[in-house]
Structure 1
Amino acid sequence: MNDFALFWEWLSFGMRWLHVVTAIAWIGSSFYFVALDLGLHKRPGLPEGAYGEEWQVHGGGFYHVQKYLVAPAHMPEHLTWFKWEAYTTWMTGFAMLAIVYYAGAELFLIDPNVLDVSAPVAIGISIASLAVGWIVYDLLCRSPLGMNDTRLMLVLFVVLVFMSWGYTQLFTGRAALLHLGAFTATIMSANVFMIIIPNQKVVVADLIAGRKPDPKYGRIAKTRSLHNNYLTLPVLFLMLSNHYPLAFATQFNWVIAVLVFLMGVVIRHYFNTVHARKGNPTWTWLIAAILFVVIMWLSTVPKVLTGEDRAAAGAEPFLASAHFEAVRDTVMGRCSMCHAAEPAWEGIHMAPKSVRLDTDETIAAHAREIYLQAGRSHAMPPGNLTGVTPDERALIVAWFEEARGN
């Protein structure tokens, strides 16, 4: 059993590493081509069908790149396709979803206080949401809304807002933000697999057959590529969020996710504008900074905003010794079955992240982690399996802040 647990842990680590590697390859090539496309120069004397060109220097050499808006007159002998980066990123990401959230559904996916369902039902909801998300998105793009990029983007933003809130009504906070990232990444990958690459293959087939390609295929592919460009940064945040409980395990986690999408839009607007040589809109960084400060505030804002007593946020100090005795009882009763030298929880064979909370000394040593994971947020225990009460969480907050002199 211990050997299997070790194997599963290394499988998770290895798959996560592969996912990061392929994501870097995909995002890197995507950002490069967007910047290249925006920076193209038009000049007299370009080859027939060429839209623009760009001279670049890198790695001790010069590159001369020309773009054909539809296609060149003849099929080139060597043609490099950029597609496997997107495919492998999605496949490894879904593998991570299965390894961590499906195999560990009771710990990481299901919160009975949110939606009390069995593991198979929760997994089914998860998979269905990804598939339905792509179908809805694709239908919107093919509808009359798709003729206007701005109007379409606004409608898609409303969809993302709804999904940000909806996922928090289905899964744990950790799983909700992760699924929002997977939902968006599925749309991005499907854009490549279902639209961009097939459209490019139609153009190639026309060239081989001696036909003049229809420019609509390139136009549609460019629109989907533009969507991917603006969605990339929020997806990265959402994929990282599961390591930061102040993002995923707080009361306003879905609002935080919505604001992250807005941050991604303004940041990409800055780079896209600069790459297109249309100015230097530094105001976008101020907007992004303000949004991030709002996110920080929302992660710890007193719950009085929703009508809950301010004391629940742990604002009132207590004597440290009294706090510690009560906190120790809470931690020993709610956390130490996993965070111990010999965990008693089924399926846990060693203390998660080697954090032991089974003595006074180890509890005090990990005060900050307890405060963030179980006091200021609801990250621990996963899915609140051991039933930590709001009063116990408030006591943890009061204990830590009193000890720190806050």
Structure 2
Amino acid sequence: MDYLIFWEWLSFAARWLHVITAIAWIGSSFYFIALDLGLRRHPKLAPGVNGEEWQVHGGGFYHIQKYMVAPAHMPEHLIWFKWESYFTWLSGFVLLCIVYYAGADLYLIDRDVLDVSTPVAILISLASLSVGWLIYDALCRSPLAAHDTALMVILYGVIVFMAWGYTHLFTGRAAFLHLGAFTATIMSANVFLLIIPNQKKVVADLIAGKNPDPKLGKQAKQRSTHNNYLTLPVIFLMLSNHYPLATSTQFNWVIAALIFIMGVLMRHYFNSRHANAGNPHWTWLASTILFIVIIWLSTVPKALTGGDQKVSRGAEPFMNAANFPQVRDTVMGRCSMCHSAEPSWEGIMMPPKGVRLDTDELIATHASEIYLQAGASHAMPPGNLTRITDEERALLVSWYRGARTERVP
């Protein structure tokens, strides 16, 4: 089996698992936040019950009650919502390893930004994810925890700093991905290191016949609320690698910072509606204005560089291949009208995914992508608009497979 084909499918499988688990985590998180905010309170509630809700779904009625601290006795059957979070983070980390660590020379390291070796770049990546949680947890355990608004403002400052910092460490694409992973690590660690442990302490107290500490629930609630507001920006950052106008322009870190504000505004709207606390339509106007600002920032002339363009250290065998002149002519004639610094194809403003194929070096650098997209599959050109022939596709396959055996690791 072709190694690259296997690796591509492995990446696809990890991405699919990541999406599935993320849907499960985000879905349950949004549901419980909406449920919590929409609980009805009245004098006839049983002792200890903080609110209740009647819901209808799938042809059945559900009667849900919430105990602010815990019920008087431990229920016989208790469902824990934790594995969705754990597997979302784990599958995301596996995907990070497959795409960015294994492909560090192409996707992680930008030698015009920071010229480091692959092991050093990976260590920086891992350290940043760990340090992010430590800073966040320390702030949440400080006296600031009693002041939600002040805490959120300071946390936002940390995120903005990390957005700026990542763009000075990695490629633009990797910077956005890492900012998303930085935030997602905080969210998953909240579940693993505080929310679930606090709930286990409550359960242990119930079994022992003790009254649980109300602070445990309050701490878990605060972290859960943070997760709720961080979710939408993380989704944007995880999808951003498809859009070089977001990741690979001059003010990419500002764009990322504004996306966090938009995400908070959107969640504020839905949270307000669920809590019957009004209908803040102004959040949509504010989000629209911010999005227009983002569009403008992405089109500042100096920014239109076509993304992160660098030559891989293993590109030489592909340029030295005997059939490279024919390959170059094929790519220039079938692909470079879109994949160039200034695309000539109508409606294409920047090279798709920031990939340029307008020089020998860049064609050789992206050899594996050319092979996968236009040789092993017919994904490119879209709809075969440039009429690439079967013989030309076979040429790309022969070129890649022949040169790969001589490629320097």
Match runs of 1:94-173 below 5 Å: 94-173=93-172
* Mapped contact 1:39–1:276 kept (Cα < 8 A): yes
Give 1:376 deviation, angstroms. Answer: 7.1
SS in 2 for 1:47: coil
From 376, 379, 384, the counterpart of 2:354:
379
* Mapped contact 2:340–2:356 kept (Cα < 8 A): no
Distance 1:154 1:194, change over 3 A: same
What runs of 5+ residues in structure 2 fail to find an aligned partner?
321-327, 364-409
* Mapped contact 1:41–1:53 kept (Cα < 8 A): yes
Partner residue in 1 for 2:253: 254
The C-alpha deviation readout for 1:319-359, integer Å capped at 9, x for no partner, is xxxxxxxxxxxxxx989x98xxxx9279xxxxxxxx99624
Give 1:277 deviation, angstroms. Answer: 0.3
SS in 2 for 1:363: coil
Separation (CA, whole Å) in 2 of partners of 1:362 and 1:7: 25
SS in 1 for 2:355: coil
The C-alpha deviation readout for 1:199-253, integer Å capped at 9, x for no partner, is 0000000000000001000000000000000000000000000111110010110
Separation (CA, whole Å) in 2 of partners of 1:199 and 1:130: 23
Distance 1:367 1:113, change over 3 A: closer
Distance 1:357 1:184, change over 3 A: farther
Separation (CA, whole Å) in 2 of partners of 1:345 and 1:220: 58
Separation (CA, whole Å) in 1 of partners of 2:232 and 2:145: 23
Counterpart of 1:380, as a letter, is: V
* Mapped contact 1:229–1:268 kept (Cα < 8 A): yes
The C-alpha deviation readout for 1:29-87, integer Å capped at 9, x for no partner, is 00000000000010112111100001111111111100000000000001000000000
Separation (CA, whole Å) in 1 of partners of 2:362 and 2:335: 22
* Mapped contact 2:337–2:343 kept (Cα < 8 A): no
Separation (CA, whole Å) in 2 of partners of 1:57 and 1:101: 44
Partner residue in 2 for 1:344: 318
Partner residue in 2 for 1:200: 199
Separation (CA, whole Å) in 1 of partners of 2:197 and 2:335: 57
Separation (CA, whole Å) in 1 of partners of 2:161 and 2:8: 34
Partner residue in 1 for 2:177: 178
Counterpart of 1:75, as a letter, is: M
Distance 1:44 1:6, change over 3 A: same
What runs of 5+ residues in structure 1 fail to find an aligned partner?
304-311, 315-332, 347-354, 389-406
Distance 1:357 1:368, change over 3 A: farther
Partner residue in 2 for 1:328: none
* Mapped contact 1:250–1:377 kept (Cα < 8 A): no
Separation (CA, whole Å) in 2 of partners of 1:369 and 1:13: 31
Q: Does 1:81 align with 2:54?
A: no
Give 1:379 deviation, angstroms. Answer: 2.7
Distance 1:47 1:174, change over 3 A: same
Give 1:364 deviation, angstroms. Answer: 3.6
Distance 1:57 1:368, change over 3 A: farther
Task: Give RMSD over aligned pairs.
Answer: 2.9
Separation (CA, whole Å) in 1 of partners of 2:145 and 2:311: 52
Distance 1:31 1:115, change over 3 A: same
> How many residues are aligned here?
347
Give 1:123 deviation, angstroms. Answer: 0.1
Separation (CA, whole Å) in 1 of partners of 2:335 and 2:178: 34
The C-alpha deviation readout for 1:125-164, integer Å capped at 9, x for no partner, is 0000000000000000001111111110000000001000
Distance 1:216 1:357, change over 3 A: farther
* Mapped contact 2:340–2:351 kept (Cα < 8 A): no
How high is the TM-score relative to the length of structure 2? Answer: 0.79
Distance 1:260 1:68, change over 3 A: same
More deviation, 368-377/222-231: 368-377
Distance 1:162 1:277, change over 3 A: same
Give 1:360 deviation, angstroms. Answer: 2.5
More deviation, 173-182/370-379: 370-379
Partner residue in 2 for 1:358: 331
Task: Give me the identity figure in percent.
Answer: 66
Separation (CA, whole Å) in 1 of partners of 2:199 and 2:59: 32
How high is the TM-score relative to the length of structure 1? Answer: 0.80
Counterpart of 1:203, as a letter, is: V
Distance 1:97 1:218, change over 3 A: same
